[in-house]
């Protein structure tokens, strides 16, 4: 029993060939049960070959041992997960019992040239896979004791043959134990190396996935038909769509079908292609996307799909537009301011002269009426010049907290009751911003009022008069976005590019300074303004205000019909 105690003190190690320890032990247990089934079948075949000469009294102990072995292994398999801390002891006991069982099997089938002798070697090899070289040598020692005792008490081998059989088999037991244990240790060493390599591969894969997920550029891969197979986080964020997998690329970018031919790239005629196109999100907002398309190749350089990288150029385009407007308006403003000053002096002289002439009694009533018309027009020119000089004059920066929701509601209530603006305009208002902007409240009111009045006037001849006004927070950028959309006449590209220029107007009797002043006020508050317009369909003003986290209040949400 000393040998058995030494065996049971061993703890199983984990060869790589079987994966995790539990899986490895399950494989060993399955092998053990398989050999028990083989033993049962061979025994039955052996008995059948002996015919009626088989004694039940001789084979009954064998079947009892076989049944006990089946019961032990079945109970072990049934409670396998619950016996995790006892795996070492149980397997040691089962290996020792299997050696004892094989001994009885050889005893009952005859020690001379027994067909079951190889089971000793199988048992030792399996033990080596579990307990390495030390465990297999201990089991070989236990097997040697059992086999030697069997050969000594057995009557079939005597004399010199007995010494030869015992010595040769014992050498075989220890040789198999040593070689099996050595092989198991080598497999275990290779397994550790493979685990380390697998960990390195997984770390590289995780790093690659982390890089792809954290790219500021959106990435989409598709199959050869254009069905999306992979997306990164930036792609979902830029497109504001979390359900991109499995969809058609041309469904996201309808304009892409007329720009890029996937079959041309698949043939290898084009390696990569860059294009800019418009994208409309679920809110109906337009964005400018710069997209680069290239083939996706496998290791054999065959094209298996396509890879798309893209970024949102909307803000860049708006900044470019704002810069062009700034340069244009600065040049126009500087020139016009000088001219305005020069015009005002002659106008004052003309006005004074006309007033002096009109005070004389030497003129007829008709002539004095004409003089009053001249004075009226001079006053109108003076007012225009004063308004323009106010436009070009730098303003003192004021940093008062302004709630855009209440400010817009005040403006909307005013225009809804104005008699000078088109009536029956349906207002659709969604004020969802919770942030506060900082600036000059009256100036901001003037700017937003100019834009909303302009939207009302654009719908004067429209059959459907709808004004949509909304606010929302852009939390990632700490900004508040205001959208003012009308279903009016819209603008062509020429008028859209000049809409913020002083004195440019398409309305009869307009001064052309309303939107120019609004643009300057918004710009002085650090706001960016973009305009989307299509002739005959309407115009949308998109204004982004900076809103640092100085104050934040819950947003009032209101819908007005």
Closest C-alpha to 333, from 523, 508, 496 = 523
- Does the global pTM surpass 0.85? no
Q: Are 229 and 219 contacting, i.e. CB atoms less than 8 angstroms apart?
A: no
Task: Residue 64: count other Cβ atoms within 10 Å of its Cβ.
Answer: 11
Q: How far apart are CA 382 and CA 512, in angstroms?
A: 15
**Residue 333 pLDDT class (50, 70, 90 cuts):** low
Bridge-based pairing state of the strands 426-431 and 466-474:
parallel
Percentages helix, strand, coil for the chain, rounded to the nearest 5? 60, 15, 25
Kindly report, residue by residue over 178-234, the tens digit of the pLDDT: 887 777 777 777 767 777 888 888 888 888 878 877 877 888 888 888 888 888 888
Residue 312 buriedness (CB in 10 A; 0-12 / 13-18 / 19+): buried
Whether the predicted pLDDT of 388 surpasses 70? no
Q: At what angle do helices 365-392 and 514-524 cross, to 10 degrees?
A: 20
The average pLDDT across 137-144 equals 84
Whether the predicted pLDDT of 6 surpasses 60? no
Q: Write the DSSP symbol of residue 397.
A: P
Q: How far apart are CA 426 and CA 428, in angstroms?
A: 7
User: Average pLDDT, whole number, for the chain?
Assistant: 76
Whether the predicted pLDDT of 344 surpasses 60? yes
Q: Are 216 and 237 contacting, i.e. CB atoms less than 8 angstroms apart?
A: no
Task: Residue 392: count other Cβ atoms within 10 Å of its Cβ.
Answer: 18
The tokens for 206 are 């995780």
Q: Are 424 and 462 contacting, i.e. CB atoms less than 8 angstroms apart?
A: no
Q: How far apart are CA 239 and CA 234, in angstroms?
A: 8
Higher-scoring residue by pLDDT: 65, 558 = 65
Pick left, alpha or beta for residue 368 (phi over 0 → left; psi -120 to 50 → alpha; otherwise beta): alpha
The predicted pLDDT at position 43 comes to 73
The tokens for 156 are 């079939």
In sequence order, the 6+-apart residues with CB closer than 8 A to the CB of 215 are 232, 234
The average pLDDT across 383-389 equals 71
Radius of gyration of the chain (CA): 46
Start-to-end CA span in the chain (Å): 94
Q: Are 16 and 187 contacting, i.e. CB atoms less than 8 angstroms apart?
A: yes
Q: How far apart are CA 325 and CA 32, in angstroms?
A: 84
Kindly report, residue by residue over 32-81, the tens digit of the pLDDT: 777 777 777 877 776 777 666 556 666 777 778 778 878 877 777 777 77
Q: What percent of the chain has pLDDT over 70?
A: 76
Closest C-alpha to 253, from 238, 233, 267 = 238
The predicted pLDDT at position 552 comes to 47
Kindly report, residue by residue over 81-134, the tens digit of the pLDDT: 777 777 778 778 888 888 887 787 777 666 555 666 777 887 788 787 777 778
Q: Are 513 and 464 contacting, i.e. CB atoms less than 8 angstroms apart?
A: no
Q: How far apart are CA 111 and CA 392, in angstroms?
A: 116
Q: For residue 486, which phi and psi values (nearest 5 degrees)? A: -120, 160
The tokens for 472 are 């929302």
Whether the predicted pLDDT of 482 surpasses 70? yes
Q: How far apart are CA 79 and CA 311, in angstroms?
A: 57
Kindly report, residue by residue over 249-266, the tens digit of the pLDDT: 888 787 777 666 666 666
The predicted pLDDT at position 56 comes to 63
Element (H, E) at 481: strand 479-486
**Residue 7 pLDDT class (50, 70, 90 cuts):** very low
Whether the predicted pLDDT of 392 surpasses 70? no
**Residue 554 pLDDT class (50, 70, 90 cuts):** very low
In sequence order, the 6+-apart residues with CB closer than 8 A to the CB of 520 are 329, 391
The average pLDDT across 326-352 equals 71
Q: How far apart are CA 202 and CA 462, in angstroms?
A: 62
Kindly provide the b/e burial profile for residues 270-301, where b requires at least 16 CB atoms within 10 angstroms of the residue's own CB.
Answer: eeeeeeebebeeeeeeebbbbbebbbbeeeee
The predicted pLDDT at position 408 comes to 92
Q: How far apart are CA 430 and CA 427, in angstroms?
A: 10
The predicted pLDDT at position 87 comes to 72
Kindly report, residue by residue over 271-325, the tens digit of the pLDDT: 667 777 777 776 667 777 878 887 888 777 788 888 888 888 777 777 777 777 6
Q: How far apart are CA 54 and CA 315, in angstroms?
A: 95
Q: How far apart are CA 532 and CA 512, in angstroms?
A: 19
């Amino acid at each position: 029993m000393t040998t058995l105690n030494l065996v049971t003190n061993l703890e199983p190690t984990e060869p790589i060939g079987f994966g995790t320890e539990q899986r490895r032990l399950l494989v060993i247990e399955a092998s053990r049960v398989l050999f028990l089934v083989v033993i049962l079948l061979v025994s039955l075949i052996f008995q059948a070959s002996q015919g009626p000469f088989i004694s039940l009294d001789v084979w009954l102990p064998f079947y009892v041992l076989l049944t006990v072995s089946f019961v032990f292994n079945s109970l072990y398999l049934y409670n396998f997960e619950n016996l995790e801390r006892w795996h070492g002891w149980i397997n040691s006991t089962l290996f020792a019992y299997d050696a004892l069982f094989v001994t009885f099997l050889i005893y009952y089938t005859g020690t001379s040239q027994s067909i079951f002798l190889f089971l000793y070697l199988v048992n030792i090899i399996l033990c080596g896979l579990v307990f390495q070289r030390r465990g297999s040598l201990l089991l070989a020692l236990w097997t040697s004791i059992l086999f030697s005792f069997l050969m000594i008490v057995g009557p079939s081998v005597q004399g010199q043959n007995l010494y030869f059989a015992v010595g040769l088999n014992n050498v075989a037991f220890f040789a198999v134990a040593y070689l099996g244990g050595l092989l198991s240790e080598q497999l275990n060493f290779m397994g550790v190396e493979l685990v380390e390599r697998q960990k390195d591969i997984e770390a590289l894969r995780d790093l690659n996935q982390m890089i792809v997920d954290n790219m500021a550029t959106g990435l989409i891969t598709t199959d050869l038909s254009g069905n999306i197979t992979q997306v990164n986080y930036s792609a979902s964020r830029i497109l504001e769509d979390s359900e991109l997998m499995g969809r058609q690329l041309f469904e996201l970018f309808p304009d892409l079908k007329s720009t890029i031919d996937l079959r041309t790239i698949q043939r290898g005629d084009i390696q990569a292609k860059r294009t800019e196109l418009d994208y409309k999100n679920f809110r109906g907002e337009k964005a400018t996307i710069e997209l680069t398309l290239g083939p996706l190749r496998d290791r054999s350089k065959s094209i298996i799909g396509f890879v798309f990288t893209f970024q949102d150029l909307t803000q860049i385009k708006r900044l470019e537009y704002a810069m062009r407007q700034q340069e244009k308006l600065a040049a126009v403003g500087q020139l016009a301011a000088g001219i305005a000053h020069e015009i005002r002096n002659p106008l004052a002289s003309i006005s004074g002269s006309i007033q002096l002439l009109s005070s004389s009694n030497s003129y007829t009533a008709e002539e004095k009426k004409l003089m009053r018309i001249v004075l009226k027009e001079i006053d109108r020119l003076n007012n225009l010049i004063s308004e323009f000089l106010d436009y070009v004059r730098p303003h003192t920066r004021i940093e008062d907290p302004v709630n855009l929701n209440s400010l817009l509601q005040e403006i909307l209530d005013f225009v809804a009751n104005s008699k000078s603006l088109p009536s029956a305009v349906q207002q659709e208002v969604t004020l969802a911003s919770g942030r506060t902007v900082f600036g000059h409240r009256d100036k901001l009111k003037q700017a937003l009022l100019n834009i909303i009045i302009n939207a009302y006037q654009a719908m004067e001849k429209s059959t459907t008069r709808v004004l949509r006004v909304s606010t929302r927070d852009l939390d990632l950028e700490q900004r508040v976005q205001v959208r003012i959309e009308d279903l009016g006449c819209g603008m062509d590209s020429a008028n859209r590019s000049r809409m913020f220029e002083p004195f440019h107007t398409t309305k009869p009797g307009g001064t052309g300074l309303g939107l120019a002043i609004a643009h300057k006020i918004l710009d002085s508050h650090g706001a960016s303004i973009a305009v989307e317009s299509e002739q005959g369909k309407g115009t949308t003003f998109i204004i982004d205000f900076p809103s640092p986290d100085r104050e934040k209040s819950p947003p009032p949400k209101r819908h007005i019909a």
